[in-house]
Amino acid sequence: MIGSFTYRSEPVRIVFGAGAIGALAAEADLHKMSRLVVLCSPTRADFARRVTAAIAGRIVGFCDAAGQNMPREAFDRLVAALKRLDADGFVVVGGGSPIGLAKAAAAATTLRYIAVVTTYSGSEMAARWYLGVGKNRVVGEGAAALPATAIYDPEITLDLSSRVSAASGMNAMAHAVESLYGIDTNPVVQTMAEEAVRLLGSSLPRIVQKPRELAARSGALYGAWLAGHFRAEIGLEHAIAQRVRQWFNLDHAQTHAVVTPYAIGFNADAAPEAMARIKRALGAADAARGLYDLNMRLNLPTGLKGLGMREEDISKAVEVVAAGKKITHPKPVSKADLFNIVTQAYAGAPPRF
């Protein structure tokens, strides 16, 4: 018998499928956008021009300010461009960093925007946003940060490198597995999250082997959307990965990939149903080891030391995580627990709990 639950769907219009980028002009019409700025990262400017060519007549400017960790100067540059060019909306082309910057700008200006999603981060489905790192970090949350439309076209992801694809996909995996046991989970979320784990677990190794396989790209992109469609309250994996990567300036997606197996291993005995779903979706005998082995198959670093973190930073990392927002998950976590988890995640050996 299915028990009572509450479920809220985010107010984002989704356009998905091969060739979906062809709907960009129609989506701009739908949202009454006639003076658009295109936001992207510096390395993707030419790509952004290509994928937005169909609406060139209504583009009033390009802004390539997006970068890792959403620096305040990038936000100021984008907001200034939107004001100077009298934009009535904007288009963001990219993954987590450009979309994160877009969310902060949308929240500040109330302008609506269209997200052309090129990675598996799922940032476009989360109402939370932030600017900066460490003590200077500014955070916010609200529906105004979400895109009016998110366009998912697997054809425009075919040239995304296998390494970036793998790390981004495991970032999506982190959303999925934590949603299975979050305190705010429900049967709808659990169904979507398990399917996300299955799709990502089967599609990402194929992408690493054959980066231009459209079916694998489509499966991973759909899995990433399912994973991002619901975000559990801050759980152990996100508490560690987000704070550690921000504080020590580590790669966003790869930090999530590293930390996920250890967070799952710690919570395993307190969330047996979630573990059963992960094992079933991955075809693994153990949930944490299955995720660890998937990182290995994807040729990703399995330890934080492989991302540039120093061993002497472990104690500071524990302090940073412990001082953050309350962690909500099935099992209480002490500082000693955090030290064990972070130490294991630093070394990168198979999880032991």
Single-letter amino acid code for the residue at 227: A
**What is each CA distance from 314 to 34, 244, 319, 338, 344, in whole angstroms?**
50, 9, 9, 10, 10
When pLDDT is cut at 50, 70 and 90, the band that residue 152 belongs to is very high
Tell me, what's the pLDDT at 5?
A: 66
CATH number of 162-347: 1.20.1090.10
Share of the chain above pLDDT 70, in %: 94
Same fold, 13-157 and 162-347: no
Domain coordinates of the chain in residue numbers?
A: 13-157, 162-347
Could you read off the pLDDT of 84-124 as tens digits, one per residue?
999 999 999 999 889 999 999 999 999 999 999 999 999 99
* The CATH number of domain 13-157 is 3.40.50.1970: yes
List Cβ neighbours of 210 (8 Å cut-off, separation of 6 or more): 216
Burial class of residue 120, CB neighbours in 10 A (0-12, 13-18, 19+) = buried
When pLDDT is cut at 50, 70 and 90, the band that residue 233 belongs to is low
| Average pLDDT taken over every residue of the chain | 92
When pLDDT is cut at 50, 70 and 90, the band that residue 58 belongs to is very high
Burial class of residue 330, CB neighbours in 10 A (0-12, 13-18, 19+) = middle
Higher per-residue pLDDT: 251 or 4: 251
Locate tokens 């910057």: which residue?
Answer: 101
What is the rounded CA–CA span in Å between residue 12 and residue 113?
11
Flag whether pLDDT at 206 surpasses 60: yes
